[in-house]
């Protein structure tokens, strides 16, 4: 049995730092408020894979209604080659609570740019890479106008390529998305979700996410979000080391002693930035 969730601390996490991206079926508007009140750093209302074609219009309208009456979230829209993409954009472009869109099955940079241009109002686009073609074009996609972050649609990618879910098999696509994001100056990419209810498995797979240089993870249920947030955040040991290193660096007049100081200085500053953003630093008080 999973332990009860701790009370949610109300704190806005910048989307470029968001760790847990909670997918919520667009056909379940009764769950939107609960999702928004969860531990998720970002809520993504899904009107793509989670919705049967016969219910696309219904789901789209339910999402727009919620975003127009005080709700605020991202929306996973249908891919640019589908029959639903244009309708999704037309309906969402005036929704006041829209934080951004996650573009499904992105394979070309032009698809990101077209989505961004048609949405207007500088709505950010998370490009969901889910195929071999998309991965081959990952850097082009990351550099496209409007691209905000890359995300890994690992399930569809495995279906497209026949690759397994093993850590070794998924190392290349994860690394490719990390390198493409860095080359384009984007935040770290968002990893695919963990299927199932086992928190130990989720914790293990989230640790792989971190080890690969990814900085977010898709979640399929709200009870996954606190686990993902914890694993992707700096540890207490990390934070203590960062403060200790910077204190020592200041004490010696900020003098560089050898070639390892600059990389460690950059790492320490990044850890403290994340610790402050995620409220990890308070444990040192």
The mean per-residue pLDDT over the stretch 40-46 comes to 98
Measure the CA–CA gap between 37 and 125, rounded to whole angstroms: 23
**What is the per-residue pLDDT for 281?**
59
Q: How does strand 73-77 pair with strand 125-129? A: unpaired
Domain with CATH 3.20.20.60 in the chain: 20-232
Contacts of 230 (CB under 8 A, 6+ apart): none
CA dihedral 140, 60, 40, 6 (to 10 degrees): -170
> Can you tell me whether residue 217 is helix, strand or coil?
strand
**What is the per-residue pLDDT for 5?**
41
DSSP alpha helices (H): ranges in 104-220? 109-119, 132-136, 138-142, 154-161, 167-183, 199-211
Cα angle: 198, vertex 271, 180; to 5 degrees: 75
Residue in 108, 182, 52 with CA at minimum distance from that of residue 125 = 108
Listed range (56-60, 223-227, 257-261) with the worst mean pLDDT = 257-261
91-146 confidence digits (pLDDT tens)? 999 899 999 999 999 999 999 999 999 998 789 999 999 999 999 999 999 999 99
pTM: 0.90
CATH class given for the domain over 20-232:
alpha beta
Mean pLDDT (the chain, rounded): 92
């Amino acid at each position: 049995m999973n332990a009860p969730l701790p009370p949610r601390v109300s704190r806005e996490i910048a989307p470029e730092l968001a760790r847990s991206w909670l997918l919520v079926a667009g056909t379940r508007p009764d769950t939107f408020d609960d999702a928004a009140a969860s531990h998720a750093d970002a809520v993504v209302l899904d009107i793509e894979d989670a919705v049967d074609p016969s219910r696309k219009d219904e789901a789209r309208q339910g999402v727009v209604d919620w975003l127009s009456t005080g709700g605020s979230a991202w929306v996973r829209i249908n891919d640019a080659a589908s029959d639903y993409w244009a309708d999704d954009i037309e309906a969402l472009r005036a929704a006041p609570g829209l934080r951004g869109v996650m573009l499904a099955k992105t394979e070309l940079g032009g698809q990101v740019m077209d989505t961004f241009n048609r949405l207007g109002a500088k709505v950010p686009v998370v490009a969901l890479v889910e195929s071999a073609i998309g991965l081959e074009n990952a850097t082009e996609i990351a550099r496209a106008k409007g691209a905000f972050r890359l995300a890994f649609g690992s399930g569809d990618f495995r279906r497209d390529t026949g690759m397994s879910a093993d850590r070794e098999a998924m190392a290349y696509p994860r690394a490719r998305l990390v390198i493409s994001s860095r080359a384009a100056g984007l935040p770290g990419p968002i990893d695919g979700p963990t299927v199932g209810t086992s928190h130990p498995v989720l914790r293990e797979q989230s640790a792989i996410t971190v080890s690969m240089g990814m900085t977010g993870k898709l979640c399929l249920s709200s009870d996954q979000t606190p686990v993902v947030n914890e694993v992707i955040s700096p540890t207490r040991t990390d934070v203590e080391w960062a403060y200790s290193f910077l204190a020592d660096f200041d004490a010696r007049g900020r003098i560089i002693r050898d070639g390892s100081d600059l990389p460690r200085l950059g790492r320490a500053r990044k850890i403290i930035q994340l610790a402050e953003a995620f409220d990890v630093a308070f444990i040192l008080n």
